[in-house]
Structures are given as structure tokens and as C-alpha cells.
A and B are shown apart, each in its own frame.
Chain A
Amino acid sequence: MNGFDDGKHLSVLDMDLWRLDELEPARITKLRLHLERCTACVQRLAERDEFKQRFRRVMLPHGAPKPRRTFRGKWFNARGVLVFAAGMGALLFAVVPKSPDRKSALPRSEILFGVKGSPTLRVYAKSESGARALSESGRLAASDAIRFVVDPAGARYLLLASVDGDGALNVYFPYGGTESARLPKPGAFAVPGSIVLDAAAGPERVYALLSNEPIPVGRVRAALARLAKRGPETIRKTYALPLSGVEQATFLIEKAEARP
């Protein structure tokens, strides 16, 4: 068994059972003692708790995904449904005029964007070999140039801002604006221009804040400033800002020392 007093770290099973109030009392005692001396497990537990909070905040309000139901009716009922559906299909075919040259206003991939899911934020770094998609916690050097692409998942307004380990706050989009900017069209949006990172090494966490009404920049700066005061490690672990009515996507960049 996984004992906390034998040098091993907590397992995800221990963490999840504890949070479900299903961990045996003897193991709870050992778990608490282990957390008193293992900062790595404290951080892992905090990270897992934040993920669960995100679920409750973002996904749970939309309800559970719909399970597939097997049809339990009699065979003649099934036949009736099929006949009805065929009839309706024939009626629609007869009523809707054909427009073979009519094209969709948006490509299919963009029509599907925003139907479900949360917004996403992707970061592309420009290097000598060309542009590459950065993975989370990707390392970059100061003076590296990056670009952001946001999928707003149906939201109309975007504000892109960041905070780094030195406490610097940046509003990348809209640059110089006082509130979120209206997105020009549905679908993925490439933030104009490249961003050149500053010389401060350490984490910089970028937040894409999506909403259906504009958000004042001042409100976001205040939230970022409060986060900045808590230091680089908290910045690394804070996956959402405490802003109600806002969908968020975030990306952590680790800035290395500038190359000579």
C-alpha cells in the first residue's frame, strides 16, 4: 500500500478520496502529517483542487453531458418513428428551395466553434526555424517574439492581459484600450502584432478574458495587481482570475535569461 511515511508522495487516489470524504481515518492522519512536511504534495493537492474548482465554476453549471439512450419501445413504434421521420424529410425536401451555389457564411470549422466548450488561448513563438506552437509552461528567452491566437467559443469581447513574477502587468489587447474589444467575427482570432518579451526571467501568466459585454481594463488590472503581490509561485498556479461573468483561458510562459 502507498504509505506516506515511506518517502512516497500522495497518490491522486488519496487526494480524491480525501476530498470526497471517503478516506479512512487512519490514512487521513498520515496524509495530514505528510502534507506538513512535503511542499511538493501541498502544491500538487492545491493544483488538483484548483482544477476541481474550475470544473464546478465552468462546466457544472452547464449540466452533465447527455448520455446515449437505447430505444426501448416496441418494434412497431420504431417503425412508426422511422416512417414519420421519412415523411418529414420528404416534406422538408419539397419545401426548402435548392440553392446549390449558396455557400455558408462561415467555414464549417468556424461554425462549429463556439457551439460548446470553453475558450482557448494558444501561443506561437517565432524562432530562427520559423513559428512554432508553444506548449504550456514553454520556456522562452527575453526578446523572443510571440503571437496569441484565441478561440473565443462564442464570446463577443476579448481582453488579453498578463502578470509576471516581477509584478509587471501588461494589457496586450486591446493595446491602449480602456475596455475589452469587440471581436470582428466568430471563430479563432489572431491578436494583431507580435509581442516581444521583456528581460525579466520567471513566469508570465497570460489571461484571455472573454465576455459578451466589455470589461473595464481597470477591473482587470486590479485583479492582476492583487495576484502579483502573492508572488511567482502563486502566479504559476492561478488558472483563473476572480472575475465574475467572464470566461477565461490562460497560458503560462516561463521566461529564461536572455541569450548573450
Chain B
Amino acid sequence: MTASHPNHVRSALALGSLTAARTRTIGVAMEDEAFERLYSRFGPATFAHCRGILHDDAAAEDASQETFLRVHSHLAKAPNAREALFWIYRIATNVCLSELRRRRRKPFAVCNAVEALAIAFGDDVIERDAVARIFGSAPGKVREVAWLHFVSGLDQAEVAEALDVSRGTVVNRLNQFRDLARKLLGRST
């Protein structure tokens, strides 16, 4: 505002600024409310997925918050819950498996991973150490595909959709994982 403006113009300009500021404030408040709703709806599945990988409440809390911050804009645009969950699985699996690798913890000593691999390879028993070595040795993209397929139980098409890759890529990476597992377990291909 300058002194050259008449009073009514100065008032209108001030009101315009206030309205714009208030609109921005209301806009931010509405965004926060929508964000909280998304968090309430999809936060539980995000945490459950992270907890299933990390087996540690505190680590899963950190990972699920990190996941949610990365994924919330996609959740808001997802046409349905299925698409939203694929985003969660994709980001959360990457975040958690990267965290395990970074910490160099002994990961994957999980009953369902052992059972899942046993079903996949037709063995009655696969030692937990072997499970840890197989997953620990696999390259990141192969590991994510293997985890979502063997442990989370998604079929190949669902894994492809979750990771936004072709089904052929999923098949290739699963074959790489199987080859690695057989090599580490000392079985012929």
C-alpha cells in the first residue's frame, strides 16, 4: 500500500491480502485434515508391513513414518485402496530392506520367510541363517521382488503392479533369486 492510494483502495488491498492469507491458512488446514485422515486410514497397514520386515517396534515406527512421508501424495491420488496399498508396499519394502542392509543386522529370521522359502523350494527345513544369507546376498531390486512374492504373498502380477515394473521383470528377478538361493543352499539348478 502506498500513500497515493485512496482510503477505500487501501482498505480493499488490505482486505485482499488478508483474504489471500486466510485462504492459504484455510488451505493448509484442510490439507492437514486430509493428511490426518490418510494417516488414520493407511497408517496401520504401513506400520504392519514395516513391522513384519523389521521385527522391531521402534525401527518399524521410524520406517513407517518415513514411508508415509514419501507416499502420502500418491495415496491421496490413488483411485482405490488397492492402488494405495501397492504404493505402501513398494516404498515400505524398499525403506525397510535398505534399513536392514544399512544396519547389517541379521535380518529375515522370520517364521513366515522360512516357511515361505520352504514352500518355494520344497524343503521341510531351511535354516534361518540360510534365509538371512539368501536375502542378504541378493541385490536390492531382486530382494524386494522376492520379499513381496515369497513372504508377503503377492502373486507376480501384483508384485509387478506394486513395483511399477513389467511382469517379465518380476519373473526375471525371481529367477535370479531362485538361482542365488540354490547356489547358497548348495542345490543344483
What residues of chain A have their CB less than 8 Å away from a CB belonging to chain B?
1-2, 8-14, 16-17, 19-20, 22, 40, 44, 47-48, 51-56, 58-60, 63-65, 67-69, 72, 117-120, 135-137, 151, 239, 249-250
Alpha-carbon gap, A94 to B81, bound state (A) = 55
Q: Are B36 and A2 in contact (CB under 8 A)?
A: no
- B41-93 contacts to A, CB under 8 A, are 41, 43-49, 51-52, 55-58, 60-62, 64-65, 68-69, 72, 80-82, 85-86, 89
CB-based contact B55/A12 at 8 Å: no
> In the complex, which residues of chain A have a beta carbon less than 8 angstroms from the beta carbon of B44?
19, 51-53, 55-56
Which residue from A11, A54, A135 sits with its C-beta under 8 Å from B55?
A135
A51 with B47, Cβ < 8 A, contacts A2-B158, A13-B154, A68-B69 known: yes
Interface size class of B (residues with CB under 8 A): 35 or more
List residues of chain A with CB within 8 A of the CB of B56: 120, 136
Task: Apart from A9-B153, A51-B47, A51-B51, list 13 A-B contacts with CB within 8 A.
Answer: A11-B152, A11-B155, A12-B48, A13-B158, A16-B48, A51-B48, A52-B44, A52-B48, A59-B43, A59-B61, A64-B39, A65-B65, A69-B28
Q: Does B157 contact A (CB under 8 A)?
A: yes
14 A-B residue pairings within 8 Å (CB atoms) = A2-B158, A10-B153, A13-B86, A16-B85, A20-B41, A54-B47, A54-B57, A55-B46, A59-B61, A64-B35, A64-B39, A64-B43, A68-B69, A136-B55
Shortest CB-to-CB span from A117 to chain B, Å, is: 5
Nearest 8 pairs of A and B residues by beta carbon: A11-B153, A52-B44, A64-B39, A51-B48, A22-B81, A55-B47, A120-B58, A12-B152
Residue ranges of B at the interface with A (Cβ–Cβ < 8 Å): 24, 28, 35-36, 38-41, 43-49, 51-52, 55-58, 60-62, 64-65, 68-69, 72, 80-82, 85-86, 89, 105-106, 109, 111-112, 115, 152-155, 157-158
Residues on A with beta carbons closer than 8 Å to the beta carbon of B52: 12, 47-48, 51
With known contacts A17-B81, A55-B43, A120-B58, A12–B153 Cβ distance under 8 A: yes
Q: How far is it, in angstroms, between the C-alpha of A19 and the C-alpha of B154 when the chains are bound?
A: 17
Q: Which residue of A lies closest to B49 (CB)?
A: A12
**Contact in complex: A60, B45 (CB < 8 Å):** no
Which B residues touch A72, using CB under 8 A?
24
A136 and B45 CA atoms in complex are apart in Å by: 21
**Cα distance A48–B129 in the bound complex, in angstroms:** 24
Per the bound structure, the CA–CA distance linking A72 and B109 in Å amounts to 47
> Chain B nearest CB: distance from A72 CB in Å?
8
User: Which residues of A lie under 8 Å from residue B106 when comparing CB positions?
Assistant: 135
Contact B58 A67 (CB under 8 A): no
Q: A59-B61, A135-B105 are in contact. Are A12 and B68 (CB under 8 A)?
A: no
B151 to A: closest C-beta gap in Å: 9
